[in-house]
Amino acid sequence: MTGSSPSIASKTARGVGRPTDLRFVLPVLAFVALVVALAWGLMVDPKVLPSTLIGKRVPPFDLRTVKGRSFGLSSSDLTGEVSLVNVFASWCTACRAEHPLFMQLKATGSVAIHGLNYKDLPDNAAKWLDTLGDPYTRTGADRDGRVAIDWGVYGVPETFVITKDGRIAHKHIGPLTDKDLASTILPMVERLRKQ
């Protein structure tokens, strides 16, 4: 009987058992890679997404005025003083949450704030600002979202700190909080004013 069936050693030597091993190993390796990728994604702070525009000039743009406002917004308006540019929309719930902070900043005169209204209907944007208050010195209507794309906007709200010479110094993703203002934004504004 030993001559009729090959031994395990001869099967392995001929490679008969190897495809079976790979069928089990490849799914395990794929699963491990997926777990590692998901774990890394959970550890990354979504507010800390890299921006290739930090330190670079504001992309050139010229936006018309949001309905009911006096001044539109263009890249040439973002020179001469340290300022904030807030990307917002009337349909954005998180924008509504941060809006009182911008109204407080306007009341104290801490820093000039400009608004970039993202993919909004003119009547909705006007009603939103008329109802909640308008903290912006200038507000541009980015109806098709092209300017936001040039700025590297991932979604609303986002806020940018702009230097006196029109460069992007900082990008904050998500709604601003009192803590963000006190620990990051306002100290940065003060440092940039002294430069």
164 and 129 within one domain: yes
Say whether pLDDT at 50 is over 70.
Answer: no
Give the type of residue at 32.
Answer: V
Say whether pLDDT at 189 is over 60.
Answer: yes
Q: Does 3 reside within a domain?
A: no
pLDDT at residue 38 in the model: 63
85 and 38 within one domain: no
Distance from chain centroid for Cα 105? 22
Q: Does 1 reside within a domain?
A: no
Q: Does 26 reside within a domain?
A: yes
pLDDT tens sequence across 81-112: 999 999 999 999 999 999 999 999 999 999 99
> What number is the average pLDDT over the span 181-191?
97
108 and 23 within one domain: no
Total domains present in the chain: 2
Q: Does 105 reside within a domain?
A: yes
pLDDT tens sequence across 14-27: 555 555 576 777 77
> What number is the average pLDDT over the span 8-18?
51
Q: Does 56 reside within a domain?
A: no
74 and 36 within one domain: no
Q: Does 57 reside within a domain?
A: no
Share of residues in the chain with pLDDT > 90 (%): 71
Asked if 88 contacts 109 with a C-beta cutoff of 8 angstroms, the reply is no
Q: Does 101 reside within a domain?
A: yes
Residue numbers of the domain that contains 21: 8-43
Question: Which among 102, 119, 69, 71 is positioned nearest to 172, based on CA atoms?
Answer: 102
107 and 31 within one domain: no
pLDDT tens sequence across 105-149: 999 999 999 999 999 999 999 999 999 999 999 999 999 999 999
CATH of the domain at 132: 3.40.30.10
pLDDT at residue 45 in the model: 45
67 and 39 within one domain: no
- Residue 6: pLDDT band (50, 70, 90) is low
Phi/psi at 42 (5° precision):
-75, -25
Q: Does 51 reside within a domain?
A: no
- Residue 52: pLDDT band (50, 70, 90) is confident
101 and 162 within one domain: yes
- For residues 10 and 168, the model is more confident at 168
Say whether pLDDT at 2 is over 70.
Answer: no
Task: Supply the DSSP string of the chain, one letter for each residue.
Answer: -TTTS--HHHHHHTTTTHHHHHHHHHHHHHHHHHHHHHHHHHHS-TT----TTBTSBPPP-EEPBPTT-S--EEGGGG-SS-EEEEEE-TT-HHHHHHHHHHHHHHHHT-SEEEEEEES--HHHHHHHHHHH----SEEEEETTSHHHHHHT--SS-EEEEE-TTSBEEEEEES---HHHIIIIIHHHHHHHHH-
73 and 160 within one domain: yes
Say whether pLDDT at 159 is over 50.
Answer: yes
d(CA 74, CA 59): 10
Verify cis geometry, omega within 30 degrees of 0, for the bond prior to 157: yes
- Residue 31: pLDDT band (50, 70, 90) is confident
d(CA 102, CA 44): 27
d(CA 159, CA 87): 6
- For residues 102 and 41, the model is more confident at 102
Task: Supply the DSSP string of 91-108, one letter for each residue.
Answer: T-HHHHHHHHHHHHHHHH
